[in-house]
Amino acid sequence: MRRIPIKKLQAGNILAVPVKLPRTGVILLKEGLALAPRHIEYLLQYGLAEESCYVFDTSEHSLLPQEDIIILQNFRTDILQSIESIELKRTLAFTYTALSDLVKEMKAGSQISLQPIQDASEQIARQVLENNGVMLQLAALKIINEYTFCHSVNVAIYAVSFGKFLGLKRHTLRELALSGLLHDIGKLSISPQIIDKPGELTREEFEQVKRHTYEGYRRLVKKTGVSNDVLQAVLLHHERCDGSGYLLGLQGKKIHPWARMLAIIDIYDALTSRRCYRDAVLPHETVDYLMGLSTQGALDFDMLNLYLKNMPVYPEGCQVSLSTGEKGTVVETPPGIPLRPVVEVSSLARGKQISKEAPADPLGVKRKRVDLCINPTIFITSIDSR
Ligand SMILES: [Fe+2]
């Protein structure tokens, strides 16, 4: 972050703190905004040319085209700043645009063009193959501000990562990404008041929601270039192995494997996301819930176990709070034990001190490592950020 005179601002600079009117404190522009020329003009019109503001240091970010920078305003700036790869940022911007355009076409009832979303699927598959850890972190930290887009992209990332773990070919990974991006596309045929309703749905409303799987299938089945695997994943992702799901009430292996996979991923990402009507459920609590569902027979037990082997539930770099009151960063996840990572504590609970034996980093700062595998009474109580 650096301080810069407002008269020297350039399009593409991202505000690190809000710009306020000096005397009244009224906020003119919000933190995280990627400035367009009109924003700078707006500040100058207020006579703030000689004032200063704070922008993120974005030497890499500024290499992006202006359109991508503006699209990336829909993403969490704090996380974007930590992404070094320009190619990854462009993938995120491209995917967001492809999804937005598809949503607009669906809402307008016009012909939908799937080529951009297929290209986005290819890019996501490539990024997961090259940067699996980073992509899983982005999914865990919910990088896109809007839930619907964030959820679709996350499901795509988790599906590709799982497919990679299973050794699937690149072409198949691209198809998996496509099914993740499109799995809920049928929701656009349902009234937003019902989809976003915070309270319990009436019976009639729920009947409408249930149709989103078929509506998505119906729109895609007419298009060329959508494989049967993708269609089955879209149509059957709410089926449950014990027959309790919808729309067809299929059971067990009669449900396409991709749909059984998406069922797990869909619930995992939905529960770990914060919604306007509830807080995010913690990953280990979500895993408990999924295990419960698979034990009851609703989810594919073997697939869930395989999935959890691949999932770093708390990815490295994730900042967490512990039940001890301490805050820290996840630095390691033991293979096969995703729920009990090693946390490097950066702030201690009141009254505690880091021991003299604690290792020091190159700057001489002492840090304490808490291995949750050997400290069974300590728990992660929240994910704070990255
Ligand atoms: Fe769905």
Pair (138, 274) in one structural domain? yes
Q: Mention every residue, 6+ apart, whose C-beta is less than 8 A from residue 231.
A: 217, 220, 221
Pair (374, 250) in one structural domain? no
Reported as a single tens digit per residue, the pLDDT across 339-370 is 889 999 876 555 555 555 555 555 555 568 89
Number of domains in the chain: 3
Q: Ligand 1 center to residue 83 CA distance, Å?
A: 30
Within a domain: 37: yes
How much is the pTM? 0.78
Q: Ligand 1 center to residue 106 CA distance, Å?
A: 17
Reported as a single tens digit per residue, the pLDDT across 238-291 is 999 999 999 999 999 999 999 999 999 999 999 999 887 788 898 889 999 999
Lowest mean pLDDT, pick from 183-187, 268-272, 326-330, 361-365: 361-365
CA dist., res. 133 & res. 156, Å (int)? 14
pLDDT value at position 192? 84
Q: Ligand 1 center to residue 213 CA distance, Å?
A: 6
The mean pLDDT of the chain is: 87
Last residue of a domain, one of 283, 310, 337: 310
Q: Which domain holds residue 102?
A: 68-310
Q: Ligand 1 center to residue 61 CA distance, Å?
A: 34
Of residues 372 and 145, the one with the higher pLDDT is 372
pLDDT value at position 365? 53
The stretches of the chain forming alpha helices (DSSP H) are: 37-45, 66-71, 77-80, 86-108, 115-130, 132-140, 147-165, 170-182, 192-195, 203-210, 212-221, 228-236, 257-271, 283-296, 301-310
The domain spanning residue 25 has which CATH number? 3.90.105.10
Pair (206, 326) in one structural domain? no
The domain spanning residue 176 has which CATH number? 1.10.3210.10
Within a domain: 19: yes
Q: Ligand 1 center to residue 264 CA distance, Å?
A: 11
Half-sphere exposure of 3 (CA within 13 A, CB side): 3
